[in-house]
Chain A
Amino acid sequence: MIQVKNLFKSFEDTQVLKGISATFEKGKTNLIIGKSGSGKTVFLKCILGIFEADQGDIIFERTPLSSMNLETRALLRQEIGMVFQGSALFDSMTVEENIMFPMKMFTNAPHEEIRDRANIVIDRVNLINANEKLPSEISGGMKKRVAIARAIVMNPKYLFCDEPNSGLDPKTAILIDNLVQEITQEYKITTVINTHDMNSVMEIGEKIVFLEDGLKQWEGNNQEIFKTDNEAITKFVYSSEMFKKIRKIYIEESE
């Protein structure tokens, strides 16, 4: 579980995060949603420790990030898997080398053992015949799968995904969402996903935190999002006529 308490972050004169508190639960897909510029990525990067928060704290299980020294933080980071928006695969390495990379860096396991573990996660994310290919030779959907495989190869406690299905076709996007949800439940990890994809919200939003202008405006799940009266979230989620109709049908059916 990750608890975020009263987080503030500014860049020069711009206040990006204005006191956000949230809890991300273990074994669930926790979504951070909000329109572009709402502070989602900065929020995620503060949790990851890439950006240092001006005020507030982030508590991993029971340990506040602020109380950790550099060594403890480095150890914590080995328990974190991250899927970046653009996949962030290492260009000079093959798919298999990318996935083996964290194990090569942080374990003393023999090469064969590392390769076996990499092949287990390669199978888990359904990557076929891609081991020897370079990132430039595979599709966007495959890159996301490689990024997910690399993120889970060390059996992380926490999985962070920054817009994991951006730039993908709807079918592949749903496959990636489902894969992340399955892995979350299977490995019992705390997954935090940054997204503005409404399909993801409806499909895998077991816990949703909605941000607007650096503030948390709403918190709930994909069932509650249909019933909420919160103006900010309804304006964001039901901005299209189609989603308005879906919401209407859902409310009528549930009544």
Chain B
Amino acid sequence: MKLLTHIGQYTLMIHKTFGKFTKWSVLKNLILREIDDLIIGSLGIVAFISFFVGGVVAIQTAINTDNPLLPGYLVGFATRQSIILEFAPTFISIIMAGKAGSFITSSLGTMRVTEQIDALEVMGVNAYNYLIFPKIIALTLFPFLITFSMFLGILGGYIACITGGFSSHADFIEGLQLDFKPFHIVYAFIKTFLFAMLLATIPAYHGYFMKGGALEVGKASTISFVWTSVAIIIANTIVTNLLLT
């Protein structure tokens, strides 16, 4: 029953977010600020994680397929598939649920606690649109972040393989190009876009409807991270079943 109430309230929040629009002259600045906070501000951590995890994926694959009967290009092939299909879209989204999601929940939660959201409502501002819509628009750029992650992940894998002597340049490149299906990129972007919407709205819901004081802001951020991750994993399973099977 409680879950149904949350789902209902969440749906109403989405509906109201696309209700009365804030003036464009105000909205465009809000969108640019959210792009800076949520996308540009995440580039560093995404680059760092993608590069090194890409390297580890390649090394692990090389170590576990150390059999002369297996072709040399397998490392490049497995690295590409792991990074494009799962690591970049799904795991970076979960990392973003921790970074950007917590930021969204705590900033909206703090605004709720300090009555700033009440102040917007009393003024007659559609607080849903003013606060949540710019985050949704900013996160439509999330696929660019994932493209960046894919590139750095594969680059990390390549550098780890070459410098560690696990694969030759030619084998790795051959593996990267082998049996490449452009639809896998489309699939990755479809789910990335879906995750972006979850990333923007679930933490926003937990922040916007937060009750209590400063302590509850921290709790709300944690709960929001858990639910966003759960939603991403469930959505990942559904989309993969629908698009790849």
Contact = CB atoms under 8 A, between A and B. Distances in A.
A106 B119 contact: no
A50 B124 contact: no
Nearest to B116: A88
A85 interface: yes
A74 B111 CA distance: 21
Interface stretch (A75-83, A164-172, A178-186, A200-208): A75-83
A88 B118 contact: yes
A116 B195 CA distance: 45
Interface in B104-144: 110-111, 114-116, 118-119, 121-125
Most B CB contacts (10 A, CB to CB) among A48, A73, A78, A88 go to A88
A11 to B, nearest CB: 12
Most B CB contacts (10 A, CB to CB) among A76, A85, A102, A105 go to A105
Interface in A69-100: 73-78, 80, 82, 84-86, 88-91
Contact of A74 (B20, B22, B118): B20
B122 A85 contact: no
Nearest to B130: A105
A126 B17 CA distance: 38
B171 to A, nearest CB: 52
Given A104-B26, A105-B26, A90 B116 contact: yes
Given A88-B116, A91-B116, A82 B122 contact: yes
B118 A84 contact: yes
Contacts, number: 52
A82 B121 CA distance: 11
Interface size class of A (residues with CB under 8 A): 20 to 34
A88 B114 contact: yes
B26 to A, nearest CB: 6
A102 B114 CA distance: 18
B181 interface: no
A82 B23 contact: no
A88 B111 CA distance: 8
Given A74-B20, A86-B115, A50 B123 contact: no
B20 A84 contact: no
Contacts of B122: 48, 50, 77, 80, 82, 160
Contacts of B115: 84-86, 88
A237 to B, nearest CB: 28
Contacts of B121: 50, 77
B119 to A, nearest CB: 4
A78 B124 contact: yes
12 contacts: A48-B122, A50-B118, A50-B121, A77-B123, A77-B124, A80-B123, A84-B115, A88-B118, A88-B119, A89-B116, A91-B116, A106-B124
